[in-house]
Amino acid sequence: MTIPRDHPRYRSLVARESLASCCREGIVSLEGLAAHGRGEAFDYLLGERTTESALLAERTAAAFLLCARNPVISVNGNTAALAAGEIRDLQEATGAKVEVNLFHRTEERIEKIRRLLEDNGVRVLEGEAQRLLALSHDRAYCLVEGIFSADVILVPLEDGDRCQVLAGMGKTVITIDLNPLSRTARAATLTIVDELTRALPNITRFSHSLRQEESLELIAVHDNAVLLKEALGEMRRRLGDALD
Ligand code: PTJ
């Protein structure tokens, strides 16, 4: 289907089309389509734009990644379908490793996602995944030299259980999640309440410009509870305006 460029919902329709076609190819799970719909609903409440507090979270994410010893970006089906090029740019800017890690894990899906990422210039970590995290589902599988030994890990569109386990292992967990009420948003060290394809280029841009002292300062003062409150406040303000 050709989506007309002048359609008022062009960006949203292109994202849906890309997810639907990646779902047909077996890259995105059916559950991933449902997860995207939930994200869209929260994005409506945000006004489909990056708020001031999200921008601060994105700067802070860049700071954490730049100061990390072993930063890792964990990529699932939705992230690969929506933002393979943006992941490549962030990897180039920060030197982070990229590991494919799935909730609905099959070797076939992992292979397809790896191929999509590599076709877009991402260097994907290789190796034999092992059951290393204290989780009863397949997100327990990860690579020793990747997620398991990472000190800072970016997990966009994450599920709450793994986020809690990773944080419990003492890792800095950064997530991108449009739902500020989700368990992931609450368990992460830093939550970016913004849409994935808006958030990633901002983190990349900040990664190119932040200096060491600024990064250390951002890390020292960051407060996830305040960022979440501001995101919810923004949604409440917009709802209030609509009701007036
Ligand atoms: O590819 P897999 O098998 O690893 O599965 C991936 C999904 C996304 C299905 C899996 O991780 C999952 O079930 O995630 P959840 O628990 O539904 O959480 C996804 C969160 O991401 C939800 O809170 C959504 O609101 C949010 N979200 C969805 N799309 C976007 C988003 N946040 C930012 N940008 C988006 N485009």
Which of 227, 216, 186, 221 has the alpha carbon at shortest distance from 64? 216
Going by alpha carbons, the residue nearest to atom 25 of ligand 1 is 39
The pLDDT assigned to 19 comes to: 97
Residues 6 or more apart whose Cβ sits within 8 Å of residue 189: 64, 167, 171, 172, 173, 174, 224
The pLDDT assigned to 45 comes to: 95
The pLDDT assigned to 9 comes to: 86
Closest ligand 1 atom, residue 28 Cα = 1
Distance from the alpha carbon of residue 212 to the mean position of ligand 1, in angstroms: 32
Closest ligand 1 atom, residue 196 Cα = 34
Cβ neighbour number for residue 225 with a 10 Å cutoff: 9
Q: Which CATH number describes the domain made up of 52-241?
A: 3.40.50.12640
Closest ligand 1 atom, residue 31 Cα = 9
- The sheet with strand 97-100 has its strands ordered as 97-100, 71-75, 152-156, 172-176, 190-192
Percent helix, strand, coil in the chain (nearest 5)? 60, 10, 30
Q: Where are the domains of the chain?
A: 52-241
Residue 133 CB less than 6 A away from ligand 1: no
Going by alpha carbons, the residue nearest to atom 17 of ligand 1 is 35
Going by alpha carbons, the residue nearest to atom 19 of ligand 1 is 157
CB 188 within 8 A of CB 167: yes
Distance from the alpha carbon of residue 244 to the mean position of ligand 1, in angstroms: 32
The pLDDT assigned to 76 comes to: 97
pTM: 0.96
Q: Which mutation among 12, 28, 40, 78 tests ligand 1's pocket best, with the greatest number of atoms within 8 A of CB?
A: 78
The pLDDT assigned to 3 comes to: 83
Closest ligand 1 atom, residue 77 Cα = 1
**Which residues of the chain are under the pLDDT cut of 50?**
none
